[in-house]
Every structure is written in structure tokens, then in C-alpha cells.
């Protein structure tokens, strides 16, 4: 997932709902935040949009008086808005560990956010470690699990681990077969592997997915540097694939 989109999604959805089965299994593990805490979180994230530096100060102050996971979440978002990727990743990892200690299933979401922050900060090794931790949990939905495989593939490919990236992308296509980025990056990786037959087959099988991914990426480079020109459904498209 693109880190800034992850941040925006988190702003809109401050706390993932705890699955009923999980809550039943661990009745004392997850206490829903009270209304005052939710209001404080919304105010904090509104400040992230307007004044991210002030929001970081607000979240830190809140954390010092027991703001818990909501305060850490807002602090992470403030650091993301400031493009301070390492502090953001560190905050999310701390939140993940706190959530895990409390047997709170949200720990998986925090690991995913940490991984994306590390990836945005060009620390692929730490990103893979965070994504590994997320995938080791049992609380991810199949959809989010598939997205994590896509993200881990990006990290693996950036380190030159094409085989590991291929394994992740193949798994992602099983879990999120409609995801345009999974299809696009799978074809891009096939080109990197000089498997043009597979790349062209992927491109032709889902032309709409590729057009959508290309439009959203807007020049982003999923796997590094390599300018490639290819055809999707008869249209010549210039893309920086690697």
C-alpha cells in the first residue's frame, strides 16, 4: 500500500473494530476507547491535516499522560505527514508491541503501518521484518493479508530478492485477485526476470487493472529503475517499471 494512502485511511478509521470472535476469546483484552478518547483522537488527526508538527507535539503530550494506542496512532500519522519515516515506523512498532502485549488484534495493523513507513524511508530490511510480523498474526483479513504480500514483494524486489518477491506476488494474486497493483507488479517483475511471455500474458489478461494501476501510480517506481514501454489492450503506455 502507498504509505500516504495508508495514513489517510488510518485518519478516517482511527481504530479497527475488534472481531467478535476475538473479543469473545479474550474478553479483557480489548476495551473500546471511550467517547472522550475518540473525540481527542479526531481532534488530533484533524490537526495532522492542518499542522502536523503541532499534531506531533499534541500526540506526544497525550502519550505521556496515558493516551495509549490512539495517541501512538496519531503520533505516527503526524510523522508520516512530516515524511519522518523512521520515527513513524518506530512509533508504529511500539504500538504493535503494546497491542500484542494486551492481546489486542490491532497489533497486525500497526505492523503493516510500520512496514510501509520503513519502506517509504528506503529501509527495505526493516520493512520486511515488520511485514513478516504482520503476516505472522492470525487477525489479518484475507484482503489485508494479500496487500501485505504486495508490500513485502516491493521490499524484497528493492533488495534484489526477485524469487522472494515472486512468491509474495503469486500469493497476493490468490488472496486479492482484483488488486490492480498486484497484477501490475507481477508483470513488471516478470519483465525484470526476462519472462516476457508471462508479462504479456498478465498484461493482456487484465488490461483494465493495468490502466487503473498506472493512473494511480502516476510515475511511481515500484521496484527501482528501469524504463520500459509496453502495450496494454492496444494502447502504448510509457511506464517506469523498475
Residue ranges in the chain modelled with pLDDT below 70 = 1-33, 199, 201-242
Domain borders along the chain are 1-140, 141-242
Q: Which residues are paired to 238 by β-bridges?
A: 229
Sign for the CA dihedral angle at 5, 97, 38, 35 comes to positive
Q: What are the pLDDT digits (tens) for 63-87?
A: 999 999 999 999 999 999 999 999 9
Burial tier of 100 (Cβ tally within 10 Å: 0-12, 13-18, 19+): middle
- Greatest CA span in the chain, whole angstroms? 60
Residue 189's pLDDT is: 84
Residue 32's pLDDT is: 58
Q: Which CATH class is domain 141-242?
A: mainly alpha
141-242: same fold as 1-140?
A: yes
- The CA R_g of the chain, rounded to the nearest whole Å, is 19
Containing H/E element for 100? helix 85-101
Instruction: Enter the pTM of the model.
Output: 0.75
Residue 227's pLDDT is: 32
CATH number of 1-140: 1.25.40
Rounded Cα distance, 216 and 185, in Å: 13
Contact 226, 238 (CB under 8 A): no
Contact 126, 152 (CB under 8 A): no
- Residue from 109, 99, 110, 108 nearest 31 by CA: 99
- 207: which residues sit within 8 A by CB, 6+ positions away? 232, 233
Amino acid at each position: 500500500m502507498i504509505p500516504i494512502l495508508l495514513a489517510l485511511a488510518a485518519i478516517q478509521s482511527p481504530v479497527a473494530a475488534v472481531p467478535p470472535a476475538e473479543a469473545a476469546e479474550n474478553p479483557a483484552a480489548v476495551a473500546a476507547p471511550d467517547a472522550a478518547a475518540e473525540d481527542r483522537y479526531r481532534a488530533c488527526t484533524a490537526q495532522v491535516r492542518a499542522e502536523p508538527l503541532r499534531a506531533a507535539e499534541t500526540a506526544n503530550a497525550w502519550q505521556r499522560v496515558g493516551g495509549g494506542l490512539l495517541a501512538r496512532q496519531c503520533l505516527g500519522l503526524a510523522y508520516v505527514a512530516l515524511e519522518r519515516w523512521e520515527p513513524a515506523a518506530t512509533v508504529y512498532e511500539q504500538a504493535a508491541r503494546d497491542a500484542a502485549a494486551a492481546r489486542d488484534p490491532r497489533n497486525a495493523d500497526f505492523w503493516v503501518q510500520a512496514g510501509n513507513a520503513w519502506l517509504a524511508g528506503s529501509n527495505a530490511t526493516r520493512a520486511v521484518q515488520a511485514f513478516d510480523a504482520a503476516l505472522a498474526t492470525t487477525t489479518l483479513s484475507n484482503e489485508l493479508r494479500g496487500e501485505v504480500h504486495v508490500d513485502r514483494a516491493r521490499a524484497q524486489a528493492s533488495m534484489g530478492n526477485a524469487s522472494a518477491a515472486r512468491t509474495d506476488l503469486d500469493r497476493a494474486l490468490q488472496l486479492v485477485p482484483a488488486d490492480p497493483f498486484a497484477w501490475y507488479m507481477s508483470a513488471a517483475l516478470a519483465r525484470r526476470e526476462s519472462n516476457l511471455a508471462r508479462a504479456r500474458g498478465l498484461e493482456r489478461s487484465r488490461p483494465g487493472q493495468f490502466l487503473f494501476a498506472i493512473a494511480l501510480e502516476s510515475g511511481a517506481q515500484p521496484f527501482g529503475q528501469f524504463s520500459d514501454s509496453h502495450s496494454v489492450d492496444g494502447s502504448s503506455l510509457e511506464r517506469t517499471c523498475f
